[in-house]
Amino acid sequence: MKRGFPLAGLLRIRGIQQRAAAAHLSRAAMEEQRTEARDRQLRAALTTSADTPGDIRTLAALAASRVAARSLLTDLDTLRRAQRAEADAARARLDDARRAERGIERLAEAFHERERARRDAAEQAVLDEIALRSAADGSGAPGGHGEAP
């Protein structure tokens, strides 16, 4: 009779946890990349300047927009740091999930190896019993092996 791995359910759960952690890491990395792209776009917009302003109102509006953009850059930098921390935490959770799943996989491999060895030993015992019976039947019967007529 073939026995199943007693922790098979736990192994499935660990696999689900690992896939969920990988998905979370993927989302966190995408959000971080999006924020970095917004940051690059804003910095590029700040470095390119239009024609020299002609009047004081245009100059004031340009200065105000630059102040707002710098504030936005500060906010984006804060957001990027938070997203980087989230991605690092997600990476750590994925590593932990992989480690936990791998531990259960090793237990499963060891279990299956023990089961295979147990089946092989049982099969060998049956073969040995058959060989012993054949040898006993062949040597003790008249006209069997080892007797001369």
pTM: 0.68
CA-CA distance, 66 to 96, in Å (whole number)? 44
Question: What are the b/e assignments for 65-77, b being 16+ CB within 10 Å?
Answer: eeeeeeeeeeebe
Q: What is the gyration radius of the CA atoms in the chain, in angstroms?
A: 37
pLDDT of residue 53: 66
**Is it the case that residue 89 has pLDDT exceeding 50?**
yes
**Is it the case that residue 95 has pLDDT exceeding 80?**
yes
pLDDT tens sequence across 19-78: 999 999 999 999 999 999 999 988 888 777 666 667 888 888 888 888 888 899 999 999
**Is it the case that residue 149 has pLDDT exceeding 70?**
no
pLDDT tens sequence across 97-133: 999 999 999 999 999 999 999 999 999 999 999 999 8
* Burial class of 113 by CB neighbour count within 10 A (0 to 12, 13 to 18, 19+): exposed
Residue with tokens 């019993």: 129
Written as one letter, the residue type at 34 is: R
Closest of 106, 108, 112 to residue 2, by C-alpha: 112
Measured in whole angstroms, the distance separating CA 69 from the mean position of its chain's CA atoms is 40
